[in-house]
Structure 1
Amino acid sequence: MENFELFLEKSHTQRDYYSAGEEIKGHVAISTKGRVRVARLSLRFIGAAHTEWHDKCTGAPFESVDKVLDEYRDLTSELSSLCDGSTELSPGEHSVAFHFKLPMDSVSTIAKDGHGVVKYFCVASLDLPDDGGDNEIVAEKEFAVTAYLNLDAPHFREPAHSSEQMTKGGVFCGRIRRVKAELCVEELGLMTGETCEVTLTVENTAKRGRRKSHAGEGHKCGLISLCQQVDFKAKAKTGEWQKRSLTTAVQSQGICKANCAKKPETRRTQKTDSSSVLTFLESKWKNIST
């Protein structure tokens, strides 16, 4: 046996992902210098989610490993078609093609240090019989997967709202002041590069006198960020589960109101970055005096 290699149509790079439900195609290349007896050729598609970390307070380890894919394919019959009657491969180069369809519920590949990873592998095994037993030759390739999400589902086409309120009390029984912010996203089912209208309304009931040195300023600023959050869960030996969340700001947009007019002020910004979903922002600021 001179060479045994596994090839996939897509190499493992950040741009060459397989989508859930997509068919994986490839071939196993076998090169021999002389006649070689073979017994079996098989493939296994494996996917695993591995989370691991230590608790910051107690130092207790948390670790979980779950299989998300485990499929077996026997290619012995395809290999036998290349052999003669004695199940021997003749000298030269041989190729066995294969294909496998990923399940629709496959989860996405991810790798975050200190949190967890989801990895996929294709493993090819060739059994070679000899007098002392079976020898096995193994070749392995890693591939990446993106999950399938139906963005046309009704709940993804509806607007999403969120609000937050902060209450401030004055010193020595002073007047209570409230600042309320409300965020509305036009729809949630978006592809990379699509535009989305985001409306931020801030209502401030606080009335404060400004210092004379800053009488001509009074800027009111805020920040809208598009964030991605991934949740990881791991289990300790005691059976206790722990959850960690990792939030990444994909894009941020600063918004400012230059004067303190009582009527709402709108600012629109057109983004041209095709790598971001948040490409159209609309902000409204409203000051109400009491």
Structure 2
Amino acid sequence: MGEGGGCSSTPQPPMSVVKSIELVLPKDVVYPAGSSIEGQVVLILNSTLVDPVVKVELVGRGYVEWNEEIGASRDYSRDVICNNKADYVHKTKTFPVEDNWLSAGSHTFDFHFNLPPRLPSTFASKIGHVSYFVQASCMGREHVLAKKRTYLSIQGTSDFHQENALQSPVFVEAEKKVSYNCCMQGTICLQIQMEKNTFAPGEGIVFTTEISNHSGKSIKTVVFALYAHVRYEGFTPKAERRSREDSSELLRQEANTQIAPFDATKIVSTLNLPQVLSVSSSTRDGEIMSTRYELVSTVHLPWSLTCVKAKVPIIVTGAPVDTAGCQPLEGAALPVSQECQN
């Protein structure tokens, strides 16, 4: 669901004064909102550069777009493009250059940025994306001589852990009467038990499924899946508000069982969440998308051409950051700055 780790650079013309410009950042790091990003810009020059401007930027933004059919009730239809965008962070640091010139050779510039405490997670789908990147550039007199961009993986945070420190166990039950062998009927009961239903990215969702088979047929397959339901908010060219919801299966696990007629069984399962996930949220003014999650256990009954489903709402929340010390809390052991400055 992210764009972390990618990088791009502009090609250099022959005999350019700039040989290369590089960004040095920790590899494969997930940064929680509110933490610090530390790195270096390494600039290598072929010759002396006068009046240089060397800077680094931190940029985060989101964008959604989709086509929507309208006018179907009038026996015609046409597509209208709905879109929306948001800017989450834009910080710039321009490095001081002594005597206003740089000699040929290698030059290293240290930087760090503090991320805002409230950010959406890095995200990508066919409809929308949220991306963050650090970009270094070197300019001469009115010309960009070199540029380098590296994308970041950002994990959004929330206050849900603080507001709901004590979580109660979760119990969901679904029951269905099914027909088989023409005139025979039975009941399938499906139960899901969890110690909690709130999790952080990277955590394992542990749950117990109990299936009671009060029928004369065997049950062979049970499927567990975690779904993400994303609601997008956009506007038409006439500034009319539109929304669209899209669902995707994030995780899936299948258990091959042999539950005999008039028998019951328990299955303990674990679904491990990705390291970067959008936090559960409801759409508020100014937001371009919101996400909710659902754990679904499905008992397939091919002999009755039906199935039994039990659904549990799952809440995903990032671990909040200790902004007083600019340190992520336990469970988010990521490198951060020892200082608190932009």
TM-score scaled by length of structure 1: 0.68
SS of equivalent residue, structure 2 residue 255: strand
- In the alignment, the residues of structure 2 paired with residue 266 and residue 54 of structure 1 have an alpha-carbon distance, to the nearest angstrom, of 47
- In the alignment, the residues of structure 2 paired with residue 255 and residue 276 of structure 1 have an alpha-carbon distance, to the nearest angstrom, of 25
Query: What displacement does 1:166 show?
Result: 6.0
For the pair 1:157 / 2:167, whether they are aligned, the reply is yes
Report the counterpart of residue 237 of structure 1 in structure 2.
237
Structure 1 portions without partners, runs of 5+: 170-175, 208-216, 285-290
Q: Is the 8 A contact 1:166 1:180 kept in 2?
A: yes
Q: Is the 8 A contact 2:205 2:272 kept in 1?
A: no
Q: Is the 8 A contact 1:10 1:17 kept in 2?
A: no
Change (3 A) 1:49 1:283: closer
Change (3 A) 1:185 1:283: farther
Report the counterpart of residue 58 of structure 2 in structure 1.
45
Query: What displacement does 1:163 show?
Result: 5.0
Report the counterpart of residue 287 of structure 1 in structure 2.
none
Structure 2 portions without partners, runs of 5+: 1-16, 71-77, 180-184, 276-296, 300-342
State how 1:15-164 maps to structure 2 within 5 Å: 15-55=28-68, 58-75=78-95, 77=96, 80=97, 83-84=98-99, 87-112=100-125, 114-129=126-141, 134-137=142-145, 138-148=147-157, 152-153=161-162, 154=164, 157-162=167-172
Counterpart amino acid of residue 148 in structure 1: T
SS of equivalent residue, structure 2 residue 91: strand
- In the alignment, the residues of structure 2 paired with residue 65 and residue 182 of structure 1 have an alpha-carbon distance, to the nearest angstrom, of 42
Higher RCO (CA 8 Å, separation ≥ 6 residues): 2
SS of equivalent residue, structure 1 residue 55: strand
Counterpart amino acid of residue 242 in structure 1: S
CA offset digits 1:115-145 (Å, max 9, x no partner): 211111212233323xxxx223333222221
Give the RMSD, CA atoms, in angstroms. Answer: 3.9
Report the counterpart of residue 267 of structure 2 in structure 1.
268
Query: What displacement does 1:96 show?
Result: 0.9
Change (3 A) 1:202 1:147: farther
TM-score scaled by length of structure 2: 0.59
SS of equivalent residue, structure 1 residue 196: strand
Change (3 A) 1:52 1:156: farther
Counterpart amino acid of residue 219 in structure 1: S
Query: What displacement does 1:179 show?
Result: 7.0
